[in-house]
């Protein structure tokens, strides 16, 4: 039994095994012949924060593999957490019913707390601004599929780099590949945390911080847009100041490489104009679809299958 709590738990070889498995899942889905390897398993999905893609793709992944799903989709208001039950007690209870637990929570470290008390494997589906490992892996899968490689790429992250848990999970995976250069484009208030930057410097990773999207557009092989994470702000005024910091519009595409890809974990609010959707470089819907295959691979991984 293995948990999935952070992408830092994966070596390059581990991550590549998961990507290879996801590719197999994609093939099996496309031919309608998915091996029901999780027959007789029950997967619990308990979400203390809103979700569309993550929860529904995990549930679809479980169902496609023959598992059954029990789901608490508004656990903050509707589970016993509302009455004050601790995460650890929730872990003990879910372990009595389900064979694996997929949890999203607003507190950083919640998935680790759950795993420490659960007797079943736990998948972190996002814990506050900390990590979102299944998203990091599906992003890695998307970059590999779109570009055919994971090294020698210029990757520009744009937006709320302080609070984006998807950045926090993708970056540790991407820095394992040689020759990658990272641009971090954000307003001052939403910069990557200084300790994360220090860690990159210590590892010899090449990165450049910027507040200017225009100077980065012509360089990016991967343009990774992020939503300003409203729910992490202490007050509305601070959010209002930065909420519309970077919006990618159709005319920006002229400055971009013809084979660049535009990614976004979604939901988009005011970061990517809808007029861009029909451009072949807009990869965000393909990215969301890849989430299904990667989550199928991750469920197999936690069961040791
Ligand atoms: C992301 C998340 O929840 O962190 N969404 C997702 O899972 N695809 C990104 C976001 O909410 O901005």
pLDDT in tens, 175-213: 999 999 999 999 999 999 999 999 999 999 999 999 999
Tell me, in angstroms, the distance from the centre of ligand 1 to residue 53's CA. 8
The order of strands in the sheet holding 154-158 is 206-210, 181-185, 154-158, 222-225, 261-263
Residue located nearest, by CA, to atom 6 of ligand 1: 265
Q: Are residues 158 and 123 in the same domain?
A: no
Give the confidence band of 284 by pLDDT, cuts at 50, 70, 90.
very high
Tens digit of each residue's pLDDT (9 = 90 or more) over 229-283: 999 999 999 999 999 999 999 999 999 999 999 999 999 999 999 999 999 999 9
Do 100 and 163 share a structural domain? no
160 CA → ligand 1 middle, Å: 12
- Give Cα separations from 119 to 92, 102, 141, 210, 229 (angstroms): 7, 13, 30, 45, 32
CA-proximal residue: ligand 1, atom 8 (nearest): 265
Atom of ligand 1 nearest to the CA of 165: 4
CATH number at 99 reads 3.40.50.1370
- Which one of 57, 110, 125, 132 would you pick to mutate in the ligand 1 pocket, going by the greatest count of ligand atoms within 8 A of its CB? 132
Contact yes or no for 61/295 (Cβ under 8 A): yes
Is residue 151, in this structure, part of any structural domain at all? yes
Question: Do the domain assignments include residue 1?
Answer: no
Closest CA to 298 of 136, 168, 112, 114: 136
Q: Which atom of ligand 1 is nearest to the CA of 160?
A: 12
Over the stretch 74-120, which tens digit does the pLDDT of each residue have? 999 988 888 899 999 999 999 999 999 999 999 999 999 999 999 99
Q: Are residues 163 and 242 in the same domain?
A: yes
**Are residues 271 and 155 located together in one domain of the fold?**
yes
Per DSSP, the three-state class of 102 is: strand
Cβ-count burial 21-37 (b if 16+ within 10 Å, e if not): bbbbbbebbeeeebeee
CA–centroid distance, 37 to ligand 1, in Å, is: 28
Looking at the structure, tell me whether residues 127 and 138 fall in a common domain: no
> According to the model, what pLDDT value does residue 137 have?
99
217 and 166 share one domain: yes
Structure tokens, 37:
């390897």
The Cβ of residue 242 has, within 10 Å, a number of other Cβ atoms equal to 18
Which letter, b or e, does each residue of 191-214 get, where b requires 16 or more Cβ atoms within 10 Å of its Cβ? bbeeebeeebeeeebebeeeeebe
Number of helices (H) and strands (E) in the chain: give both, helices first: 11, 9
Q: Is residue 2 part of a domain?
A: no
**Any idea which residues carry the catalytic annotation?**
53-54, 83, 104, 132
Report the relative pairing of strands 100-105 and 122-127 from DSSP bridges: parallel
My answer on whether 24 and 55 are in the same domain is yes
Instruction: Check if the beta carbon of residue 142 is closer than 8 Å to that of residue 166.
Output: no
33 within domain boundaries: yes
Asked if 152 and 47 sit in the same domain, the reply is no
Q: Tokens standing for 126? A: 């996002």
Instruction: Give domain status of residue 123, yes or no.
Output: yes
Count other C-beta atoms under 10 Å from residue 270's C-beta. Answer: 12
| Beta strand extents in the chain (DSSP E only) | 42-47, 68-72, 100-105, 122-127, 154-158, 181-185, 206-210, 222-225, 261-263
pLDDT at 78 (0 to 100): 85
pLDDT computed for residue 79 by the predictor: 86
- On the question of pLDDT at 295 being above 90, the answer is yes
- Ligand 1 atom at minimal distance to the Cα of residue 229: 12
Nearest CA to ligand 1 atom 1: 265
User: Is residue 152 included in any domain, yes or no?
Assistant: yes
Query: How many angstroms separate the alpha carbon of residue 71 from the centre of ligand 1?
Result: 19
The whole-number pLDDT of residue 82 equals 86
**Do 152 and 176 sit in the same domain of this protein?**
yes
Q: 289 C-alpha to center of ligand 1: Å?
A: 14
Q: What are phi and psi of 187, to 5 degrees?
A: -65, 155
Number of domain units in the chain: 2
pLDDT digits (tens, 9 = 90+) for 199-209: 999 999 999 99
The binding-site residues of ligand 1, defined as CB within 6 angstroms of any ligand atom, are: 53-54, 126, 132, 135, 165-166, 227, 265-266
pLDDT band at 291 (very low <50, low <70, confident <90, very high): very high
Closest by Cα among 72, 105, 49 to 267: 49
In a domain, 184, yes or no: yes
Q: Do 145 and 232 reside in the same domain of the chain? A: yes
DSSP letter assigned to residue 204 = T
In this structure, what token pair is assigned to residue 32? 């309608």
Residues 274, 295 within the same domain = no
39 shares a domain with 72: yes
Mean pLDDT of 135-144: 99
The domain of 273 spans: 133-288
């Amino acid at each position: 039994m293995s948990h999935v709590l952070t992408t830092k738990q994966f070596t390059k070889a581990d991550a590549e095994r998961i990507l290879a498995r996801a590719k197999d899942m994609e093939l099996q889905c496309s031919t309608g012949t998915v091996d029901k390897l999780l027959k007789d398993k029950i997967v619990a999905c308990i979400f203390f924060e809103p979700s569309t893609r993550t929860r529904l793709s995990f549930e679809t992944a479980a169902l496609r593999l023959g598992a059954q799903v029990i789901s608490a989709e508004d656990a903050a208001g509707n589970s016993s957490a509302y009455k004050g039950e601790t995460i650890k007690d929730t872990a003990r209870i879910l372990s009595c019913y389900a064979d694996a637990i997929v949890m999203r929570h607003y507190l950083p470290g919640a998935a680790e707390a759950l795993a420490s008390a659960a007797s079943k494997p736990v998948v972190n589906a996002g814990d506050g601004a900390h990590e979102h490992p299944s998203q990091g892996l599906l992003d890695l899968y998307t970059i590999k599929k779109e570009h055919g490689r994971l090294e020698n790429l210029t990757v520009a992250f744009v937006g709320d780099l302080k609070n984006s848990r998807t950045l926090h999970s993708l970056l540790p995976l991407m820095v394992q590949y040689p020759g990658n250069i990272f641009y971090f484009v954000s307003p001052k208030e939403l910069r990557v945390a200084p300790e994360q930057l220090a860690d990159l410097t210590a590892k010899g990773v090449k990165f450049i911080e910027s507040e200017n999207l225009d100077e980065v557009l012509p360089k990016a092989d991967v343009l990774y847009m992020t939503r300003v994470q409203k729910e992490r702000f202490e007050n509305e005024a601070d959010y209002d100041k930065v909420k519309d910091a970077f919006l990618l519009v159709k005319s920006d595409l002229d400055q971009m490489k013809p084979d660049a890809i535009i990614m976004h974990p979604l939901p988009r609010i005011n970061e990517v104009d809808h007029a861009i959707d029909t451009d072949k470089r807009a990869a965000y819907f393909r990215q969301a679809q890849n989430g299904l295959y990667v989550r199928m691979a991750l469920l197999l991984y936690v069961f040791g299958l």
